[in-house]
Amino acid sequence: MPRPIHATIHTDALRNNLAVARSAAPDARVWAVVKANAYGHGIERVFEGLRGADGFALLDLEEAQRVRNLGWRGPILLLEGVFEQRDLELCSRLDLWHTVHCDEQIDMLAAHKTNVPQRVFLKMNSGMNRLGFSAQRYRAAWTRLNALPQVDEISLMTHFSDADGPKGVQAQVDIFSAATQDLPGERSVSNSAATLRHRDAHLPTDWIRPGIAIYGSSPDHPAHSAADWGLLPTMTLASKIIAAHAIPAGSSIGYGSNFVASQPMRIGVVACGYADGYPRGCPTGTPVLVDGVRTRTLGRVSMDMIVVDLDLVPEAGFGSKVTLWGCAGNGAILCIDEVAAQAGTVGYELMCALAARVNVEVTA
């Protein structure tokens, strides 16, 4: 028997979440962002649930090749563009659209030998200070690109730093809009948080770029929960109790003995640890479902095991099902955002960190 831990990818939930994003921007086309191997879910595993998107956006050429291998003939966008000259040959061969964020990428395009002009997304740095041309230099970059025979249509894009928080997007929208107002081309500005939180702001958006929302995590947790947005978990991490014990008051649990029972209690040992991708930073009290009933972790997470409190689940014992995040069989849901928050991080990181040793299945 393999260890009982496994992950499940929920195809219907992906479809639901894609529809949620689409309904927040009904006039826009949707890039389903599948970078980082579809946020840890596996590109091949999410494809069926996301094939209703208008395109797939990602970073790696190897991942783009995998999307083409699945039979996808529609648009694919490289969100960071090319990294070296020969990447452009693959762009031509696989018909990839690519971001242009720096002069070096324009130099590469100018040197690229192709008969078929390429569709590009010209990126502006409107305040994030990661990738893109400044507002002042944007028009010169556009003019230079527009003069290249290697370039077909030019779309205009930027990325928000604070779509999920109090600062919001307006300052960046103003910079982007002012610098692009008389330029032709489609616009793409919104990630998940901008799509959901700023849906009434009339953002310049022919293409939205939702990532995290389609994986069922709230882009602005805890201001809104996934349920508030109508999002469903797309990944469940589940395992079983492999030992149950009754311990007397005064017993400590796990490395460092940092949990001490103040009264006699029943505990269960779960086959799941940080080597499976469960965050070691989750302290005592992190929520977990046992047989679909909410209880809590006790003590430190170790490499292969976690201990949980069974006092709230009296019938549970050896073999009971444990849901670390996602959906329990009885309809109960433990949102990945709650677990992430306990570890001081975000749902994105937990999904992406699902370990290779965990078997994954796909369901409806």
Active-site residue, from 35, 123, 240, 274: 35
Minimum Å gap between C-beta 361 and ligand PLP is 24
Sign of CA dihedral 75, 78, 82, 86: negative
Look up residue 123 and give its amino acid: K
> Does 211 help bind ligand PLP (rule: CB under 6 A)?
yes
Q: Which stretch binds ligand PLP (CB under 6 A): 170-178, 197-205, 208-216, 223-231?
A: 208-216
Minimum Å gap between C-beta 128 and ligand PLP is 9
> Does 198 help bind ligand PLP (rule: CB under 6 A)?
no
* Pick 31 or 259: Cβ nearer ligand PLP: 31
Q: What is the chain's Cα-based Rg?
A: 23
What is d(CA 9, CA 45) in angstroms, rounded to the nearest whole number?
Answer: 7
What is d(CA 359, CA 293) in angstroms, rounded to the nearest whole number?
Answer: 24
Q: Which residues contact 242 (CB under 8 A, 6 or more apart)?
A: 4, 269, 270, 271, 305, 318
Cis peptide before 222 (omega within 30 of 0): yes
Q: Which stretch binds ligand PLP (CB under 6 A): 1-9, 48-56, 186-194, 351-359?
A: 186-194
Binding mask 136-165 for ligand PLP (x = CB under 6 A): -----------------------x------
Q: Which stretch binds ligand PLP (CB under 6 A): 70-78, 212-220, 249-257, 278-286?
A: 212-220
**How many other CB atoms are found less than 10 A from the CB of residue 116?**
9
Indicate the residue whose CB is closest to ligand PLP.
211
Minimum Å gap between C-beta 278 and ligand PLP is 21
What are the strands, taking DSSP E only, across 92-234?
Answer: 97-100, 118-125, 133-134, 151-158, 187-188, 207-208
Question: Pick from 18, 24, 32, 33: which binds ligand PLP (CB under 6 A)?
Answer: 33
Instruction: Considering only residues 72 through 101, tell me which ones interact with ligand PLP, judged by CB under 6 A.
Output: 79
If DSSP codes are grouped into helix, strand and coil, which group holds residue 116?
coil
Minimum Å gap between C-beta 90 and ligand PLP is 20
Residue with tokens 């796990």: 254
Question: Pick from 37, 118, 191, 218: which binds ligand PLP (CB under 6 A)?
Answer: 191
Minimum Å gap between C-beta 99 and ligand PLP is 8
Q: What is the CA 310 to chain-centroid distance, rounded?
A: 32
* Pick 191 or 205: Cβ nearer ligand PLP: 191
Q: Which stretch binds ligand PLP (CB under 6 A): 190-198, 240-248, 251-259, 350-358?
A: 190-198
Active-site residue, from 215, 240, 255, 278: 255
> Does 210 help bind ligand PLP (rule: CB under 6 A)?
yes
Q: Select from 227, 298, 226 the least CA-distant residue to 256.
A: 298
Annotated catalytic residue 39: no
> Does 204 help bind ligand PLP (rule: CB under 6 A)?
no
Size of the site for ligand PLP (CB under 6 A): 13
Question: Pick from 49, 81, 127, 219: which binds ligand PLP (CB under 6 A)?
Answer: 219
DSSP per-residue string spanning 199-261 = TTS----SEE---GGGGT--TTTTTS-HHHHT---SEEEEEEEEEEEEE-TT-EESGGG-EE-
Look up residue 76 and give its amino acid: I
Separation of first and last alpha carbons in the chain: 25
For residue 167, what are its two tokens?
Answer: 């600062």
Catalytic residue numbers read 35, 255
Q: In the complex, which residues of this chain contact ligand PLP (CB under 6 A)?
A: 33, 35, 79, 159, 191-193, 209-213, 219
